[in-house]
Every structure is written in structure tokens, then in C-alpha cells.
Amino acid sequence: MVLVVLKNKIFGKPKMDKTSYLPTTHSYETVGCSDEEEFSESRSIISSTTAHEDSGFIPPRVMSDIIIGLSDGLTVPFALTAGLSSLGNSRLVITGGLAELVSGAISMGLGGYLAAKSESEIYHHEVEREKILYENCRNISEANLENILKEYHLKDSTIKMFISDMEDQPDEMIDFIIRFGKGLEEPAEGREFTSAMTIGLSYFFGGFVPLIPYFFIHSIDTSLMVSVVVMLVTLFIFGVLKTTFTLGWQCGNVRILSNGLQMVLTGSVAAGAAWGLVRLIE
């Protein structure tokens, strides 16, 4: 997480596509020709967007957890082992590194579990609020739905037809308001445990990679140099894979390589700062 924040501070947050799509597949036979074309275009856009999302290798939420776990795992344990290497004892480096990996993985996993649980509680709380509002003040719910639809620059006739159709489907109306008015989506079942395991294991494996040289090389200085090289290569591969899994190969080789180098730079800055602080304290 530290690495992700640092990367965003240095290079800025990635620009997101702000284009919104109206998720309706209902048919409106009484609507004029221009409105029918508008709905037809919306449906085709939604279909292509859904197909693109379904074609991804890894669900976005899982990929986000992997990035959080690996980004911290590749920097924090490395900085610790690099600092311990100044003591000149390989066994101490390995013991301290493994202890940090286990405790850090558990801590990160618990953090992921609590975050996902809070997200689920917020979602269900908002759904319950909207249900109560709809049952007691339906006109307010319809007004909220109208305000959401106006953001899509739809015609008044289209909005009226949409609201009229939704009146017979309160569950879909509430789901629409939650998703597009509040920006919340229903968490997947078992999301808490999936998030905890993904973040925890990603942290452990990410932090274990820079520790490997200390198991096979007796010289502390040589182990540290090899560990640095291994970490830099791993950061680059991580940046490349992160880009290809989230954006796909079609985003271009330049962007893929650029993100790989950005990950190397930000990871090096984070690890170098921690290592330098340890040396300064000594």
C-alpha cells in the first residue's frame, strides 16, 4: 500500500474513463424512434463493456488485493533485511526477515478482512436505507432516480419511461440507485476471506523473493547486492504483469514498459529510504 501511494504521488493517479453507461435492457415500445435508437445504442455499449470485463484474467478486486500485498511485500521486508545485513550475520537476517514476513502477512491479511467486511456492511446498510425510503417516501426515491438519469443527458421522455418501468420493479430501482447514485456494488460472497488470503499471501511471497539470496550466499555484502538485483527485477516484472493483467496487451508496449520502470523507481525510493534511515540511526 505504501508503494502504491508513493507511485501515485510521483507519477499521478492513472486517468480513468469517466464515460458512464446506462445498464438497462428493458424494451420501450411506446417510445419514439429517436429514443429507441438511444436505448439500442446504450444496450450495445453495455454488452460490449460487459464482454470486455468478463474477458479479464483476474477480477479487478482480486488484482487490487494482489497489488497491495505485493507492493508492500517487495519493499518493507527488503528494507528490513537490508538494514539487518549491516550487522554481518546471515542467520540474523534470515530469522528477522522471516519473522517480519509472517507477522506482516498476518497483519495485512487481517487489514484486508476488516476492510472488506466494512465495505460489505456499508453496502447492506445503504440498501436497507433505500428500501425504507422507498417504502415510506416513494416520490423521493423516484426523484433521486431522476437526478441520476439526468447525469446521462437522456431526454425527458426517456427518463419518464424509465422511471415508469422501474415503479413495478422496486428491487431493480434500489439496485440502480445504489450502484449509480452512490457508486456501491454488492460485494462478492466470501469477499472478506478472499481479500484476507490474497493480501496476506501476496505480501509473504513478495517479501520472500528478496530474502532468497541470503539462504544460499554466505557473504553478507554479496547477498545484499544480489538481493537488490532480485528486487529490482521482480519489481519490473510485477509492474509489467500488473499492467497487462489490468489493461491488457493492447495498451501498448511503451505503456507496459513505462509502468514497469515506474514500479522499479518507486520501489527503489521506498526501500532505499528505509535502508538509509536504518544506516543513519546506526
Look up residue 140 and give its amino acid: I
Write the pLDDT tens digit of every residue in 69-121.
988 888 788 878 877 887 778 888 899 989 999 999 999 999 999 999 999 99
Name the pTM for this structure: 0.70
| Count of other CB atoms within 10 angstroms of residue 137 | 11
Contact 140, 129 (CB under 8 A): no
State the Cα–Cα distance between residues 240 and 146, nearest whole angstrom.
Answer: 43
pLDDT digits (tens, 9 = 90+) for 171-206: 888 898 999 888 888 888 888 999 999 999 999 998
User: What proportion of the chain, given as a percentage, has pLDDT over 70?
Assistant: 78
